[in-house]
Chains A and B, each alone.
Chain A
Amino acid sequence: MSVFDNSKKGRKGVKLPKLDVDTKIKFSNKLLRDNQAKLPELSELDVVRHFTRLSSKNFSIDLK
């Protein structure tokens, strides 16, 4: 199962610092991307569970 399979629209796993200044984006439309990056949308718990599960499936020196 990949991390994308649990993706639910609108979820986010971090709280970013707030925007405390009043400025505008100065790039022209030609410089801006017109689509969003293909990233999953997950809560913090989704991410923790996914990578913890993945770590136990790993074939590594820690396993006998």
Chain B
Amino acid sequence: VQDFSDIIEKLHSVKALAVGSFYPVSLGLLKTPGAMGVDIATADGQSLGNYLGFGGPSFGIMATKKEFIRQIPGRIVGKTVDKEDKEAFVLTLQAREQHIRRQKATSNICSNQNLMALRATIFLSLLGKNGFKELSALNHLKTNYLKDELSKIDNITIKNLTPTFNEFVIKLPKKASKIIEQMSKSDIYAGIDLGKTDKNLDEFLLVAVTERRTKKQMDKFVKVLKEAL
């Protein structure tokens, strides 16, 4: 986790815009992209109460400063009042291409994304202000535990020495794919083999811990990993 405020300040000094992608659950604890000065922030919404679903469907989040709101694709829902002064929500600033030139439209909102976004809205309503912070802290604190325990194993190197949120990379003494296969026999999915993205990284494993993992499960992870080495 890094603070990009200084880099963003430099970008703004040469009139460049900062675009950043963030992990939604981390924002219960961490500084928001807006607070860092990011101009356009994007995220994937899967972690906000949506299923893994074999890769989809998911939905995206895109936020920008008010001055760029007209450049956003899609449409914005605005809050207003009707003629009887009752609160109302209307679609506003929507590109007309979505209605009159649908076949050539560059942006469209689909019902599956809407359903995922609705799930996220319900998820966040249930968590609320304090639950969101608690969820974020649980992710980070449990990750710290597994990271600390793994750092005690001689043959393993933790690559992210600075604080991480809920994912970190470890270097193994042999191929990560072999370890993943070995650990799966004990019903543990160890993580992502980074060799799939770059073959020079085939001994690197990306490990993730969420609020759902218990100390008991993490201790088992450490034990099974030691056996697999």
| A contact residues vs B (CB 8 Å cutoff) | 1-3, 7, 10-14, 16-17, 19-27, 30-34, 36-42, 44, 47, 50-51
Cβ of A20 and Cβ of B215 under 8 Å apart? Answer: yes
Q: How far is the CB of B163 from chain A (nearest CB, A)?
A: 4
A24 vs B142: C-alpha distance in the bound complex, in angstroms? 10
- Chain B 155-186: CB-based contact to A (< 8 A → 1; otherwise 0): 00000000100000000000000000000000
Could you say which of A21, A26, A27, A30 has the most chain B C-beta atoms within 10 Å of its C-beta? A21
Selected from A2, A13, A19, A32, the residue in CB contact (under 8 A) with B128 is A13
Q: A32-B29, A37-B27 are known; give 14 further A-B pairs, CB within 8 A.
A: A3-B121, A14-B126, A16-B131, A16-B138, A19-B141, A21-B218, A24-B141, A27-B140, A31-B1, A31-B2, A37-B133, A39-B124, A47-B126, A51-B122
Q: Does B28 contact A (CB under 8 A)?
A: yes
Cβ of A17 and Cβ of B131 under 8 Å apart? Answer: no
Cβ of A23 and Cβ of B212 under 8 Å apart? Answer: no
**B127: which A residues are within 8 A, CB to CB?**
12-14, 39
Complex: chain B residue closest to A26, CB-CB: B163
| B contact residues vs A (CB 8 Å cutoff) | 1-3, 27-32, 35, 87, 121-122, 124-135, 137-138, 140-142, 144-145, 148, 163, 211-212, 214-216, 218
Cβ of A12 and Cβ of B131 under 8 Å apart? Answer: yes
Cβ of B125 and Cβ of A11 under 8 Å apart? Answer: no
**A31: which B residues are within 8 A, CB to CB?**
1-3, 30-31, 163
The dominant DSSP class at the A interface is loop
Selected from A19, A25, A41, the residue in CB contact (under 8 A) with B130 is A41
**A21: which B residues are within 8 A, CB to CB?**
141-142, 144-145, 215, 218
Cβ of B137 and Cβ of A50 under 8 Å apart? Answer: no
Cβ of B129 and Cβ of A47 under 8 Å apart? Answer: no
A3 vs B124: C-alpha distance in the bound complex, in angstroms? 11
Q: How far is the CB of B214 from chain A (nearest CB, A)?
A: 6
Complex: chain B residue closest to A23, CB-CB: B144
Cβ of B138 and Cβ of A17 under 8 Å apart? Answer: yes
A42 vs B124: C-alpha distance in the bound complex, in angstroms? 10
Complex: chain A residue closest to B209, CB-CB: A21
**A44: which B residues are within 8 A, CB to CB?**
126
Cβ of A30 and Cβ of B3 under 8 Å apart? Answer: yes
